[in-house]
């Protein structure tokens, strides 16, 4: 459903957006209302709200290599490796 047009400020820059919403059903989780702010120039989602959280995407990079250490796992102190067999 189209709700409105709205400008968001992201990192000091105004982003003109379309605001839309939809009921989203995820098996085993149920149905919830999601709202997205879609930047008019790029058609990228810059904000997403659902019934329990809100996320604003401040940096969007497409088709770029992610740094190798971006998803580096560091076990917490005292953790030990166990055999999962």
pLDDT score of 26: 84
* Per-residue pLDDT reduced to its tens digit, 5-45: 999 988 888 999 999 999 989 888 889 899 999 999 989 89
Provide the whole-model pTM. 0.67
Residue 84: pLDDT band (50, 70, 90) is confident
The Cα-based distances of 12 to 16, 39, 48, 57 in angstroms read 13, 15, 19, 13
**Is the distance from CB of 18 to CB of 8 less than 8 angstroms?**
no
Q: What are phi and psi of 4, to 5 degrees?
A: -175, 175
**Is the distance from CB of 57 to CB of 46 less than 8 angstroms?**
yes
């Amino acid at each position: 459903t189209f709700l409105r047009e709205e400008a968001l400020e992201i990192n000091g820059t105004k982003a003109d957006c379309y605001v839309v919403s939809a009921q989203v059903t995820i098996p085993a989780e149920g149905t919830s209302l999601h709202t997205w702010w879609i930047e008019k120039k790029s058609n990228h989602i810059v904000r997403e709200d659902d019934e329990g959280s809100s996320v604003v995407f401040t940096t969007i990079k497409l088709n770029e290599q992610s740094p190798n250490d971006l998803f580096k796992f560091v076990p917490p102190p005292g953790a030990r490796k166990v055999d999962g067999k």
